[in-house]
């Protein structure tokens, strides 16, 4: 059986346009591009690529980039198969940019989600008791007001390290992408004189500030004492909430994003910028005094552990953001003497909540500063982009991700996006079209050009994921509840198959096929704030073009 896998949203007129043909044929095949009326507007022959190890399929590449006519309802046909319909147009990614960012309002804790702002998603405020949360017995003997913030994923936990990298990526987009300062996100705060994206991010930043303990260290997470079942809406959660112990990683996350936020919010609220910077300084000093307070791997009851016992990268990242905001020599010295400063920090995936050195490198490369040998910093980003671009160009589905041993990792879709972010930043630094095209083509995989012929973004494409693991977007279990909102990214293929549904349905599958759109498959199909953040960043990049 032949199939034509393509970006089901479409392509920019001047951007790359490729598809992947699954076929038994080993010789080049004829293809036809038809417009919305069925008229053939371009023809050519495919390029045989052999067997793709990431899925075990024999595949060809179809390149129709020469066709730049805008329109909707295009289809691509070859070997008796026809693709899903798609568009060619200059503004294709603007809706995705908005929806990927609107996702965060629906993740808010401690506030009513208004149905007039998100039709079909309204719900009462959840976890109002977070205003007065006790420490667990191993975490302290005090209580904190830790209201607000975003629910991390499909559960009602709130985690500083996942919140930190998410805030960083959204603020990085605001600082370096165009069109975000006046983007309307339909928030309760809209119209207050502050850009909507900064209004949304502040909801999480304020929570992160509240997680700072009297010692200056920051609690790693807070969540229910026991796991709740599916579905459980936040306002109906019966479980008591607890603060888990402080950690060095969480403390440095606050130091990094509070410093970053200070320079970005200063234009709009100087007092808030001062408060952020003070918290960042306090946190960085506290982490220096307590450099090995690690979150335990076994802390898995009621919430994920988010354990990390190597915080060299967090120290590097926090120092970089403090230097970029203050220009102070002590932070520059910390950056320059970090063992990571001259290392290649761009591994099989560039960054995530536990790997933040690349975040430091990307901030240093793009944010104006006077760090010595800045050219070397920027060259390292370009070298990282070259690595991911080479992986993408060798991959028949143009995936900028090649995990060791073809063992796809939890949240692989976010890893693809974070690698593409590095490629896009290389375009910012060099202006070379190959980086622009690489970042754009990389989005194809997420939007349907993959072995499953499935868009991993809810509401985008003809066939898309819509049963992501969530306790309140649980339509699959309870038809009175909604699917996730448009613009929600699914985690993606995960060779680990940690949940029972994945084990029952996917055992023996390879790479790209280790995914199922089922609400119970939390290891392949969860949604999280730190997976939607790179989607929003790349959508903003694409929306800047053409």
Q: Alpha-carbon distance 378 to 290, whole Å?
A: 32
Cα 483 from chain centre = 19
Nearest-CA neighbor of 190 among 260, 252, 293, 118?
118
172 is an active site residue? no
The one catalytic residue among 52, 308, 517, 518: 517
Q: Alpha-carbon distance 436 to 71, whole Å?
A: 22
The angle subtended at Cα 495 by Cα 490 and Cα 500, nearest 5°, is: 80
Question: Token pair of 40, please?
Answer: 């053939």
Q: Alpha-carbon distance 64 to 18, whole Å?
A: 6
The one catalytic residue among 155, 299, 441, 444: 155
24 is an active site residue? no
Helix axes 248-265, 312-326, angle to 10 degrees: 20
End-to-end CA distance of the chain: 36
517 is an active site residue? yes
The angle subtended at Cα 133 by Cα 131 and Cα 139, nearest 5°, is: 145
The one catalytic residue among 196, 314, 352, 526: 526
**Exposed e or buried b for every residue in 292-324, given b needs 16+ CB within 10 A?**
ebbbeeebeebbbbbbbeebebbbbbbbbbbbb
Helix (H) or strand (E) holding 76: strand 71-78
The one catalytic residue among 469, 483, 499, 518: 469
Whether 223 and 209 have beta carbons less than 8 Å apart is answered as: no
526 is an active site residue? yes
**Active-site residue numbers?**
155, 469, 517, 526
């Amino acid at each position: 059986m032949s199939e034509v896998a393509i970006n089901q949203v479409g392509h920019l007129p001047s951007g790359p346009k490729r598809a992947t043909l699954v076929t038994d044929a080993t010789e080049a095949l004829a293809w036809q591009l038809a417009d919305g009326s069925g008229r053939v507007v371009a023809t050519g022959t495919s390029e045989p690529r052999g067997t793709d190890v990431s899925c075990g399929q024999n595949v060809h590449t179809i390149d129709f980039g020469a066709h730049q006519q805008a329109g909707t309802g295009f289809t691509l046909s070859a070997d008796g198969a026809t693709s899903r319909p798609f568009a060619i147009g200059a503004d294709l990614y603007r809706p995705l940019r908005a929806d990927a960012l609107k996702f965060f309002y629906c993740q808010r804790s401690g506030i009513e989600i208004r149905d007039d702002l998100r039709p079909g998603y309204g719900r009462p405020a959840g976890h109002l008791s977070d205003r007065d949360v006790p420490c667990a017995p191993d975490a302290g003997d005090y209580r904190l007001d830790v209201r607000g913030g975003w629910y991390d994923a499909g559960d009602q936990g709130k985690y500083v390290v996942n919140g930190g990298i998410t805030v960083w990526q959204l603020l990085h987009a605001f600082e370096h992408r165009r069109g975000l300062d006046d983007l309307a996100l339909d928030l309760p705060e809209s119209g207050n004189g502050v850009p909507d994206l900064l209004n949304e991010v502040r909801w999480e930043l304020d929570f992160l500030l509240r997680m700072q303990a009297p010692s200056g260290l920051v609690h790693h997470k807070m969540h229910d004492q026991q796991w709740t079942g599916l579905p459980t809406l936040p306002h109906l959660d019966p479980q008591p909430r607890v603060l888990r112990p402080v950690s060095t990683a969480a403390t440095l996350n606050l130091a990094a994003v509070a410093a970053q936020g200070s320079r970005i919010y200063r234009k709009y609220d100087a007092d808030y910028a001062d408060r952020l910077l003070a918290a960042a300084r306090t946190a960085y000093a506290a982490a220096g005094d307590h450099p090995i307070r690690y979150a335990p791997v076994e802390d898995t009851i009621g919430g994920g552990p988010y354990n990390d016992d190597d915080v060299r990268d967090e120290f590097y990242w926090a120092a970089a953001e403090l230097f970029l905001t203050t220009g102070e020599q002590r932070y520059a010295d910390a950056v320059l003497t970090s063992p990571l400063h001259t290392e290649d920090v761009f591994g099989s995936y560039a960054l995530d909540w536990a790997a933040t050195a690349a975040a430091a490198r990307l901030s240093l490369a793009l944010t104006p500063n006077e760090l010595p040998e800045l050219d070397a910093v920027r060259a390292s980003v370009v070298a990282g982009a070259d690595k991911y671009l080479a992986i993408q160009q060798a991959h028949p589905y143009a995936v900028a991700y090649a995990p060791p041993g073809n063992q796809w990792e939890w949240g692989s879709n976010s890893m693809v996006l974070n690698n593409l972010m590095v490629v896009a930043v290389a375009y910012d630094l060099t202006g070379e079209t190959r980086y622009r095209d690489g970042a754009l083509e990389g989005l194809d995989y997420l939007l349907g050009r993959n072995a499953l012929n499935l868009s991993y973004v809810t509401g985008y494409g003809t066939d898309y994921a819509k049963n992501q693991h969530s306790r309140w977007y649980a339509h699959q279990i309870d038809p009175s509840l909604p699917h996730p909102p448009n613009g929600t990214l699914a985690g993606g293929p995960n060779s680990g198959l940690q949940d029972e549904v994945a084990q029952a349905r996917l055992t023996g599958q390879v790479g790209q096929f280790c995914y199922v759109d089922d609400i119970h498959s939390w290891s392949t199909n969860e949604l999280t704030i730190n997976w939607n953040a790179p989607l929003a960043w790349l959508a903003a990049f694409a929306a800047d073009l053409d």
